[in-house]
Structure 1
């Protein structure tokens, strides 16, 4: 029961990695405040965890006032948080020239705005509960596409690069001021969730785009949660999830910015083969 007596906050807990994190934390003794915009998914998550260990909250992470109120409600219901997982996120598959600005605003509001809102709402509680011997933990969900960019994922990559920059700066600020909050940035590859089904796309055939996403998935949500929690326990600043996550992290280190030419040529070859078939 490594998280006994800890209050853990998980956004995007209605499915995927958020659900797997919620269940794993609850099974290891945490009292979990699980939030999502999908009440049905939240109920399914709560029923899958140990009885009484998961408290659910409807939440739109892009709503700053709602997030602030959520933090106060968690404090009232469970006590101040000592672990916060800013996990909620969405995807937009579209070439930059074709994307709808409204879709871009939607994605940024959740992927980066939601993380900022979560940090601002819960950082005071984390500072309160953390100690030098047992720091509290703030975890943000970037992506392997927060380490490299790929075609048709420009908006998503931009949001996840932003999450990475924000998180790495915050980690340094906590160290600089000797504050008892350990900050971690997670970079998953493609995980077997319903993420692809929920993405927005400017592609002519959205089903094809989502099928490609599903076929690329290499890691289960349960495995992703295991890797994330192990990284948190070991105080890793950067947590890579999945073999594809590790490969994508290596590309810019090995190739520098020339990785972009390599990936563009690979994508062009794939598109050419797809048209022939």
Structure 2
């Protein structure tokens, strides 16, 4: 996709941070912007700032973990703009830190509910509408460099982000036949307010947590993210990736060697010497035959 003029872009977490940067960059490129966020005060402020730039914008208050609310938001977008978005940015996310062994069900439910289920809800809600429209499109999901490895203190967050990488790799395989691209953005650090994500945690999931949420720790996180990449700069990388139809958006070269070392450990774990090379060859052939047959029949299973 090279021309963004007049296209509708739906951005979750669009009232601040990476989402607001995307709203600015794609709005300046001519997109009609929909920002969705759970915080009405942030939506109001972001809407005013975007309109001051001359950007056409519509705001929707949305809890992305609520499927019924997502469907209503999609209906509202179609009512306002006459059709579904051509650009879907799954940008909203939350985090909480603490030793994994201290995690509660509520910690898992909140982080998975927003970071993974929220993305699933967005794609499941909009993708059928995007396909039915017959127009070109692109879906960008924000994962994290943390999705490439485990973590002692951000384990749940990293697990959700790993799932998103794999999910978008799968969409990149399946969506081109519809004229829809797929990309996964993996930031390392963004100048954002994710340190204050606890403010949006529902009461029934906040009462029992094994992780830290005291003001001193939150302030430490604020200082960490204050040195992150500017959201507008990050959104510029996203725009170029869409123009080039790139799957991976990895604009943090300082993390490359750590990723390389991680995958080298995985490769080193393969047996150095196969005791049954003929059997391995037969298994590989059988698997390739299965993959080819599955690819031919997948379209007829629905």
Tell me how far 1:150 sits from its aligned partner. Answer: 2.1
Aligned to 1:195: 194
- Picking from 199, 211, 228, the partner of 2:220 is 211
C-alpha distance in structure 1 between counterparts of 2:91 and 2:98, whole Å: 22
C-alpha distance in structure 1 between counterparts of 2:120 and 2:261, whole Å: 28
Aligned to 2:92: 88
Aligned to 1:112: 116
Tell me how far 1:218 sits from its aligned partner. Answer: 3.1
**Matched ranges for 1:1-277 at <5 A:** 2-49=3-50, 50-51=53-54, 53-79=56-82, 80-129=84-133, 131=135, 135-175=136-176, 178-199=177-198, 202-203=211-212, 207-208=216-217, 210-212=219-221, 214-215=223-224, 217-256=227-266
C-alpha distance in structure 1 between counterparts of 2:219 and 2:151, whole Å: 16
Q: How many residues align?
A: 254
Structure (1 or 2) with the larger CA radius of gyration: 2
| 1:71-126 deviations in Å (ceiling 9; x for gaps) | 11101111321000011100011111112221210111100010000001110232
Task: Report if the CA contact (8 A) 2:185-2:250 is conserved.
Answer: yes
C-alpha distance in structure 1 between counterparts of 2:258 and 2:122, whole Å: 27
CA RMSD for the aligned pairs?
2.4
Of the structure 1 ranges 248-257 and 154-163, higher mean CA displacement relative to structure 2 is found in 248-257
Task: Quickly say closer, same or farther: Cα 1:257–1:202, change in 2 above 3 A.
Answer: farther
Task: Quickly say closer, same or farther: Cα 1:230–1:214, change in 2 above 3 A.
Answer: farther
C-alpha distance in structure 2 between counterparts of 1:244 and 1:198, whole Å: 26
The unaligned stretches of length 5 or more in structure 1 are 259-277
C-alpha distance in structure 2 between counterparts of 1:233 and 1:42, whole Å: 28
Q: Tell me the TM-score normalized by structure 2.
A: 0.77
Q: Tell me the TM-score normalized by structure 1.
A: 0.83
C-alpha distance in structure 1 between counterparts of 2:25 and 2:60, whole Å: 18
Please state whether the residue corresponding to 2:102 is helix, strand or coil: coil
Please state whether the residue corresponding to 1:241 is helix, strand or coil: coil
| 1:5-55 deviations in Å (ceiling 9; x for gaps) | 100000011110001101111111101111000111112211222346110
Task: Quickly say closer, same or farther: Cα 1:46–1:202, change in 2 above 3 A.
Answer: same
Tell me how far 1:128 sits from its aligned partner. Answer: 3.6
The unaligned stretches of length 5 or more in structure 2 are 202-209, 269-302
Task: Quickly say closer, same or farther: Cα 1:52–1:174, change in 2 above 3 A.
Answer: closer
C-alpha distance in structure 2 between counterparts of 1:150 and 1:12, whole Å: 24
Tell me how far 1:129 sits from its aligned partner. Answer: 4.3
- Structure 1 stretches (4+) deviating beyond 3 angstroms? 128-131, 203-206, 243-251, 253-258
Tell me how far 1:247 sits from its aligned partner. Answer: 4.6
Task: Report if the CA contact (8 A) 1:8-1:31 is conserved.
Answer: yes
Task: Report if the CA contact (8 A) 1:23-1:48 is conserved.
Answer: no
